């Protein structure tokens, strides 16, 4: 490992510890990731982004800390430092192994995190999903929150960016009108908020760690829907363990598509492609 002076100096300012060496980390399409070796012997990950949106890294750090409050919940990296231009986390050594036992444990841990709950629908501050602002102002019900804080803002943005055809947008709007009938009542769960397989890191400790949260209080099926949308190794085993630890309401599999509208619209806004059409096709199933 060499040493990047500017990166090392910024890390030292936040950590109060000397940085012995640094090396670039591949991956991550938003921030620049750098591995740090500290004089204490600890290894850390530093994520930086010039001209980051206001509160960008602070929101990530706050989400990790909030989720980490849950004893026995999903494993998360420890936050070592955060500022407006970067966040520094304890390093998680990745593994190519994906044991079934880790998947089962993850299902149980995710159930524990969700069951810890939240004070309401949303959070006391806004966040980010990717680089897009994520509104978290509370609402009176999950159906209302999901409509006005999750689906409609990104549907509007997708329309503005030409990322969704009008027929598909109309189908999504019609589903919004049916949310009260489609979604069961539950207490707010403590959600990761961006729980796709790219944010599930299989570690050398044979556990699945979750990273890059967009945390808030929401319906737990929203986290599960995102897992199903983009897949996860041994997902059936994860779900069996989850359902045993924290049984799901009847028909949850049939409702996954409702909660997948949000991530599909986010992807339409960020990447275009066929995500808008996928959202429209999915919405049509519920009409």
Q: Record the tokens describing residue 216, joined without a space.
A: 């808030």
User: Global pTM?
Assistant: 0.95
C-alpha 49, offset from chain centre? 19
The pLDDT tens digits for 98-116 are 999 999 999 999 999 999 9
pLDDT for residue 85: 94
For 286, residues 6+ apart whose C-beta sits below 8 A from its C-beta are 175, 178, 182, 257, 258
Has residue 27 got a pLDDT over 80?
A: no
What is the pLDDT averaged over residues 170-177?
97
The pLDDT tens digits for 129-171 are 999 999 999 999 999 999 999 999 999 999 999 999 999 999 9
**The listed CATH number (3.40.190.10, 3.40.50.20, 3.40.50.300, 3.30.200.20) that belongs to domain 5-90:** 3.30.200.20
Distance in angstroms (rounded) separating the CA atoms of residues 183 and 250 = 11
pLDDT for residue 234: 98
In the chain, residues under CATH classification 3.90.1200.10 are: 100-284
Q: Is it true that domain 100-284 has CATH number 3.40.50.2300? A: no
The pLDDT tens digits for 123-135 are 999 999 999 999 9
SS3 category, 240: helix
For 23, residues 6+ apart whose C-beta sits below 8 A from its C-beta are 1, 2, 34, 35
pLDDT for residue 23: 94
205 in catalytic set:
no
pLDDT for residue 152: 98
Distance in angstroms (rounded) separating the CA atoms of residues 180 and 234 = 32
What is the pLDDT averaged over residues 38-66?
95
Judge whether 90 and 58 are in contact, CB under 8 Å: no
Mean per-residue pLDDT over the chain, rounded: 96
By DSSP bridging, strand 32-38 and strand 19-25 are antiparallel
Instruction: Give 1's pLDDT tier (boundaries 50, 70, 90).
Output: low
What is the pLDDT averaged over residues 58-75?
98
Has residue 41 got a pLDDT over 70?
A: yes
Neighbouring C-beta atoms of residue 251, cutoff 10 Å: 9
Q: Residues 240, 243, 244, 248: is their CA dihedral positive or negative?
A: negative
The pLDDT tens digits for 204-238 are 999 999 999 999 999 999 999 999 999 999 999 99
pLDDT for residue 87: 97
Q: How many residues does the chain have?
A: 287
pLDDT for residue 5: 85
Distance in angstroms (rounded) separating the CA atoms of residues 117 and 265 = 26
Active site residue: 84, 119, 194, 243, which one? 194
Has residue 29 got a pLDDT over 80?
A: no
What is the pLDDT averaged over residues 274-287?
97
First-last CA distance in the chain = 56
In the chain, residues under CATH classification 3.30.200.20 are: 5-90
Instruction: Give 48's pLDDT tier (boundaries 50, 70, 90).
Output: very high
Please state, in angstroms and as integers, the Cα–Cα distance from residue 238 to each residue in 152, 226, 244, 246, following that order: 31, 14, 10, 12
């Amino acid at each position: 490992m060499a040493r990047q002076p500017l990166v090392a100096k910024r890390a030292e300012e936040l950590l109060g510890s000397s940085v012995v060496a640094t090396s670039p980390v591949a991956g991550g399409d938003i921030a620049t990731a750098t591995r740090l070796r500290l004089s204490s012997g600890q290894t850390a990950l530093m994520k930086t982004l010039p001209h980051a949106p206001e509160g960008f890294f602070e929101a990530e750090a706050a989400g990790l800390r909030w989720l980490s409050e849950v004893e026995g919940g999903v494993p998360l990296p420890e936050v070592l430092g955060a500022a407006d231009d970067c966040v520094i986390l304890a390093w998680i050594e990745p593994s190519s192994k994906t044991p079934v036992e880790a998947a089962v444990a993850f299902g149980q841990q995710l159930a524990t995190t969700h069951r810890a709950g939240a004070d309401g629908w949303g959070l006391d501050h806004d966040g980010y999903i990717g680089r897009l602002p994520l509104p978290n102002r509370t609402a009176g019900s999950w159906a209302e929150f999901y409509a006005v804080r999750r689906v409609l803002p990104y549907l509007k943005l997708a329309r503005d960016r030409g990322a969704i055809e009008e027929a598909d947008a109309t189908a999504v709007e019609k589903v919004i009108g049916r949310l009260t009938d489609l979604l069961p009542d539950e207490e707010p769960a403590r959600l990761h908020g961006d729980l796709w397989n790219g944010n599930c890191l299989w570690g050398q400790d044979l556990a699945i760690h979750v990273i890059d949260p967009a945390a808030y209080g929401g319906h737990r099926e929203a986290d599960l829907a995102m897992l199903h949308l983009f897949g996860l190794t041994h997902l059936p085993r994860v779900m069996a363990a989850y359902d045993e630890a924290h049984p799901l309401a009847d028909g949850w599999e049939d409702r996954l598509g409702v909660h997948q509208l949000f991530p599909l619209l986010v992807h339409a806004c960020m990447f275009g492609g066929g995500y808008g059409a996928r959202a429209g096709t999915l919405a049509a199933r519920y009409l």
